[in-house]
Amino acid sequence: MRIAIAILNWNGEVLLERYLASVVQYSEGADIYVIDNASTDGSVDFVKNNYPQVKIIQNAENGGFARGYNEGLKDVDADIFCLLNSDVEVTEDWLLPIIATFSKMPEVSIIQPKILDLMRKDHFEYAGAGGGFIDQLGYPFCRGRIFQYLEKDVGQYDDTCEIFWATGACMFIKSKLYWELNGFDEDYFAHQEEVDLCWRAKNEGHTVFYVGKSTVYHLGGSTLSNMNPKKTYLNFRNSLFSITKNLPRRKALAIIFFRLLLDGIAALRFIFQFKFKHCFAILRAHLSFYRQFYKMYHKREKANFIVKYYLTKSIVWSHFVYGVNKFGVLIKY
């Protein structure tokens, strides 16, 4: 089983200096690539000078997360792609549970390890935590992370289980499946493209798993922090893209209607919090969605659709009305 670890980089010299060493040290038997998105700092020279065993693929331009990987992975030959953020610190033997799961369970096509916070190593990290799910309205959440609330890791998610989506911060995917799905949707640019990819994979009958015996630590927010209006824009817009593409027509249209209403409430909430840039980000997200609706709608023409895609009816209602912060007490439907 040939594993290629592909680290997408854009002006990330400082991150590579801090975290690439752990990947090289603890990834024996895997090929390591840095896919560079037309960086203008010294990151490429840093890798060349300090890690000659790491292969460098240079993209002609910065096409974001989605196009960056789609272009770079064309030059990678492996059975399994590991898509790894440049701000991730891996641990000793982190690959072994992943390889074992792929070997023992051939039906599994995508795997995510446990994602802990690099700054608070006893807590889960926002991007992925203990495995991703969505609710009936398409809002993503994780075991160990519901909205901004992060659980402490006390071994509650040390299991191996099926999940709905795996984080792009550290995702293992069979290369054959990646290309069958035509990779990430480049219209997303960044954020939630991994939710869409996993959703499309599940619509085609593939299985996504979480393996809690493998652990990595993620810094998070190195590209866009959770408080950046651009991230608000991308998350709100791209979530609507995924609903349009991955649900049957009537259900998709009904959910989009409710999502637009809830997004409006979220925009009002930002106004009351004096976060006006985030309010305008939601407005921009909706305008971009309207412009691209038919394009997204036609991407679903050849899709199959799974009936049961959600774990709970409304994570928004559970969290903001009932105060649910932990996955273990979430009402599942």
Local structure of 137: helix, strand or coil: coil
End-to-end Cα spacing for the chain: 37
Contact 266, 147 (CB under 8 A): no
E strands present in 37-73:
55-58
| pLDDT for res 145 | 97
Q: What is the pLDDT of residue 30?
A: 98
Q: How far is CA 326 from CA 148, 162, 183, 268, 323, in A?
A: 11, 18, 32, 26, 9
- Helix, strand or coil, per DSSP, at residue 272: helix
Region of residue 185 (left: phi > 0; alpha: psi -120 to 50; beta: else): beta
Q: How far apart are CA 183 and CA 70, in angstroms?
A: 6
Task: State phi, psi for 111 to the nearest 5 degrees.
Answer: -135, 145
- Per-residue pLDDT, 233: 95
3-state SS assignment for residue 73: helix
What is residue 307's three-state secondary structure?
A: coil
Length of the chain equals 333
Could you say which residues of the chain have pLDDT below 70? 221-226, 301-303
Domain ranges of the chain: 1-86, 229-329
Q: How many CA atoms lie within 13 A of 128 on its CB side?
A: 32
Give the CATH fold of the 1-86 domain: Spore Coat Polysaccharide Biosynthesis Protein SpsA; Chain A (3.90.550)
Query: What pLDDT does 224 receive?
Result: 52
